């Protein structure tokens, strides 16, 4: 679709300067919005615990990836520039505040709410004698054989402490077996031990009672040091920098280098230290010195040092009434069961809106390709697929059936490296062609290409997606799958696969837009076209939906367009560095974030000038890494009915959300959107609208 545009030789006026928002502050603000869900009384109780766990998991990844990049926490403050020192101090203050809010919610709201329902995590001081005896027996039988306390002395230095593992530091008095008075010991708690243990019903009465593994170890520390007196002690957990760094141009085998790197990931630079709130100051200082951390990296917590493990408690409680009602995704509305998907695609492109429509449609497409004797070849990219994947098993079957299978595996998909390496080795072992993309770039594009003999010719069928080939996340993330046999589009996909395999030359593409070559420039040109048309008096409109917006050149283009009069709505789930609604600067730009039951993950880019519309789906967020350091795709949706469906479901509905939406204020802070008011009377609110709830209702009603 060609948007109306002014002549390109007439430059747009230079926009007023903008100071971008801080990316890391924006990430923490996103997590504060997620934490809000844990505090909502109308959310089922165990789901509130789950949101609390999600925030903890997000913060873990934030520290593992961002903290070491932001500043070196090991440096003394004097070694930092004034700007770095101020930025680090501000970021630390916000992070500490967010963690404090987590534990306040955990202790003051969620734990009491569980207790009112008869579910409690019982501390040692609260246990009856019978319960203490049972815990003692459990400790001796299941826990103690796995513990090996280490007393620190010149022959026993501080042991290696793995990333995010549970440990205890213990101060001892008295002499050891050799007459020495070494005072400090470390107890490492194995990951294999459950973090919560349910007490037998006969000891619980009519309640559901649990003990935490940290409480079990804590109450039996004296048993681990016979003849010594246990003084001060604390649980602690260290978070380490965990982004694998491999010089791809300096290794002969990337897969081998990454597998070796995985061994060392658990012992990278320490970036955060968590201890019990009651931890003695001298023990805190000892740990900070050991891990070479400043005081700002210390987090005193009122509860377990790892709230991520609350997921185990959710599973053990096993109360469906305290969970969201089960949502069964409908089979894709455009696909008819019992009819060849290949035949259906010959009649037109197919859109699947996940998780409202089932990922089973994608699996059915691949399954038909595997079983069809006329299918000669299957090519697919793999970024995150999980360790247990039906999709990967189907590719395995395709190889066994004699089809040519090519898989582009992204080995550097963060925290999925091991699963991807394992799948690459399995597929390579049985004869699939496995390639690892382009040196120095991550292959983040999601595409699947099927080549099928039909008469005397070969027709290609393809699947493109804004999400991953992961059936599990396809039930939790909102994404768009696009099935097509459009010859120009499938020819482009074939060309991109060839580029990834032989890296010979940048292909000429008909429909696809490819990063790192053209995507950023094409998007800037598209934004500028709308801006020029608007400057000439043609009404312009841009609506963008994505996960993150941090690319400066793209943000500069949006500011230019906004200052030219283009109305711009940005639906950005997470980090957004572009400030909205600043007088004289970004008056025409609005930013909102949707936080709901599902994780918003689809990327949709809509441009309108006058009556002309253009809409693209993409695997890429508007981040510098996606534009310049990854292989990403964007593709146009040219079918008018499908385009309107996407506008209705992914853009308009979200722009009218009054339940799960937050809007950015001029100061960069987010405010929850209040329910819309009726025009007839300001006191009577309209019915609240949740975009996700509306889509669930729409698709669950499908036959």
Among candidates 429, 433, 426, which has minimal Cα distance to 404? 433
What averages of pLDDT result for each successive group of 10 residues across the chain (703 residues)?
47 81 94 96 96 95 75 46 70 94 97 95 94 96 93 80 93 72 88 94 93 95 90 94 56 51 69 95 96 93 92 91 93 94 97 96 96 96 75 89 89 60 76 78 91 96 93 93 97 94 84 96 97 94 97 96 96 96 94 97 96 96 94 96 97 96 95 68 70 94 50
Q: Same CATH topology for 45-247+270-322 and 517-700?
A: no
Q: What's the pLDDT score for residue 4?
A: 43
Q: What's the pLDDT score for residue 212?
A: 95
Q: What's the pLDDT score for residue 249?
A: 45
Domain ranges across the chain: 45-247+270-322, 341-511, 517-700
The yes-or-no answer on residue 656 being catalytic is no
Q: What SS3 string covers 208-252? A: EEEEEHHHHHHCCHHHHCCCCEEEEEEEEEEEECCCCCCCHHHCC
Q: What's the pLDDT score for residue 676?
A: 60
Tell me which CATH code domain 45-247+270-322 carries: 3.30.1840.10
| Residues with Cβ within 8 Å of residue 42, at least 6 apart in sequence | none
Contact 301, 277 (CB under 8 A): yes
Residue 437's CB is within 10 A of a number of other CB atoms, namely: 25
Q: What's the pLDDT score for residue 505?
A: 80
Q: What's the pLDDT score for residue 151?
A: 86
| Burial readout 111-121 (b: 16 or more C-beta within 10 A, e: otherwise) | beebeeeebbb
Given the residues 36, 220, 353, 444, the one annotated as active site: 444
Q: What's the pLDDT score for residue 570?
A: 98
Give the integer Cα–Cα distance in Å for 497 and 449.
9
517-700 to CATH, choices 1.10.3720.10, 3.40.50.410, 3.40.630.30, 3.30.870.10: 3.30.870.10
User: Tokens 């010859």 map to which residue?
Assistant: 487
Tokens of 516: 């790192």
This prediction has a pTM of: 0.91
User: Tokens 């996103």 map to which residue?
Assistant: 30
| Residues with Cβ within 8 Å of residue 647, at least 6 apart in sequence | 543, 606, 615
Q: Which fold has domain 341-511?
A: Endonuclease; Chain A (3.30.870)
Tokens of 202: 């006969």
Give the integer Cα–Cα distance in Å for 138 and 146.
12
Give the integer Cα–Cα distance in Å for 358 and 216.
43
Tokens of 171: 């101060």
Q: Which helix (H) or strand (E) holds 608?
A: strand 604-609
Q: What's the pLDDT score for residue 419?
A: 66
Q: What's the pLDDT score for residue 259?
A: 53
Contact 660, 552 (CB under 8 A): no
Sign, Cα dihedral of 469, 475, 476, 477: positive
Among candidates 551, 576, 560, 567, which has minimal Cα distance to 525? 560
Look at residue 677 and give its three-state secondary structure: strand
Q: Which helix (H) or strand (E) holds 654?
A: helix 653-655
Beta bridge pairs of residue 393: none
Contact 153, 180 (CB under 8 A): yes
Give the integer Cα–Cα distance in Å for 445 and 436.
13
Contact 111, 121 (CB under 8 A): yes
């Amino acid at each position: 679709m060609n948007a109306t545009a002014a002549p390109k030789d007439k430059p747009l006026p230079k926009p007023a300067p903008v100071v971008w928002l801080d990316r890391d502050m924006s990430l923490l603000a996103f997590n504060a919005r997620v934490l809000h869900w844990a505090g909502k009384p109308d959310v089922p109780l165990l789901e509130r615990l789950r949101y609390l766990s999600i925030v903890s998991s997000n913060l873990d990844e934030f520290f593992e990836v961002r903290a070491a990049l932001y500043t070196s926490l090991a440096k003394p403050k004097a070694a930092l520039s004034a700007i770095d020192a101020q930025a680090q101090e501000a970021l630390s203050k916000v992070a500490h505040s967010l963690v404090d809010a987590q534990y306040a919610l955990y202790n003051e709201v969620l734990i009491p709410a569980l207790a009112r329902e008869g579910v409690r995590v019982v501390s040692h001081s609260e246990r009856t004698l019978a319960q203490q005896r049972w815990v003692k027996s459990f400790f001796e039988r299941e826990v103690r054989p796995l513990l090996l306390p280490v007393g620190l002395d010149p022959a026993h230095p501080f042991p290696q402490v793995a990333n995010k593992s549970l440990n205890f530091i213990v101060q001892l008095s008295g002499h050891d077996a050799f007459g020495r008075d070494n005072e400090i010991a470390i107890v490492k708690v194995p990951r294999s031990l459950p973090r919560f243990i349910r007490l037998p019903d006969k000891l619980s009465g009519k309640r559901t009672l649990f003990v935490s593994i940290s409480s079990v170890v804590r109450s039996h520390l004296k048993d681990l040091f016979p003849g010594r007196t246990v003084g001060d002690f604390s649980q602690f957990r260290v978070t380490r920098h965990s982004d694998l760094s491999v010089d791809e141009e300096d290794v002969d085998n990337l897969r081998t280098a990454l597998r070796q790197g995985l061994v060392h990931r658990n012992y990278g630079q320490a970036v955060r230290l968590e201890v019990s709130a009651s931890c003695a100051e001298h023990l805190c200082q000892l740990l900070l010195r050991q891990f070479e951390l400043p005081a700002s990296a210390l987090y005193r917590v009122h509860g377990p040092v790892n709230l991520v493990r609350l997921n185990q408690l959710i599973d053990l409680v096993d109360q469906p009434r305290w969970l969201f009602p089960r949502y069964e995704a409908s089979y894709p509305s455009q696909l008819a069961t019992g009819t060849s998907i290949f035949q259906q695609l010959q009649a037109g492109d197919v859109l699947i809106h996940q998780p409202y429509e089932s990922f089973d449609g994608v699996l059915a497409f691949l399954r038909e390709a595997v079983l069809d004797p006329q299918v000669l070849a299957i090519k697919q990219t793999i970024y995150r697929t999980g360790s247990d994947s039906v999709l990967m098993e189907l590719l395995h079957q395709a190889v066994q059936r004699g089809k040519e299978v090519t898989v582009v595996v992204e080995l550097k998909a963060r925290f999925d490296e091991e699963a991807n390496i394992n799948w690459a080795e399995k597929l390579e072992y049985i004869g699939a062609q496995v390639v690892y993309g382009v040196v120095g770039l991550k292959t983040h594009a999601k595409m699947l290409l099927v080549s099928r003999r039909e008469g005397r010719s070969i027709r290609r069928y393809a699947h493109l997606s804004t999400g991953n080939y992961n059936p599990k996340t396809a039930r939790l993330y909102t994404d768009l799958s696009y099935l097509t046999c459009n010859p120009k589009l499938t020819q482009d996909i074939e060309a991109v696969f060839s580029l990834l395999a032989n890296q010979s030359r940048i292909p000429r593409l008909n429909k696809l837009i490819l990063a790192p070559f053209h995507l950023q420039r094409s998007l800037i040109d598209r934004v500028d076209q709308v801006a020029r048309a608007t400057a000439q008096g043609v009404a312009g409109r841009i609506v963008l939906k994505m996960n993150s917006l941090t690319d400066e050149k793209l943000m500069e283009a949006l500011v230019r367009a906004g200052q030219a009069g283009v109305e711009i709505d940005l639906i950005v789930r997470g980090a957004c560095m572009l400030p909205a609604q600043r007088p004289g600067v970004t008056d025409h730009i609005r930013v909102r974030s949707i936080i709901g039951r599902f994780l918003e993950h689809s990327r949709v880019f809509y441009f309108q000038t006058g009556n002309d519309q253009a809409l693209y789906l993409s695997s890429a967020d508007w981040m510098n890494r996606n534009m310049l350091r990854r292989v990403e795709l964007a593709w146009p949706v040219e079918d008018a009915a499908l385009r309107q469906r996407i506008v209705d479901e992914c853009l308009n509905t979200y722009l009218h959300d009054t339940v799960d939406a937050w809007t950015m204020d001029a100061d960069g802070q987010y405010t929850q959107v209040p329910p819309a008011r009726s025009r007839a009377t300001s006191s009577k609110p309209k019915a609240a609208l949740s975009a996700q709830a509306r889509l669930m209702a729409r698709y669950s009603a499908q036959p």
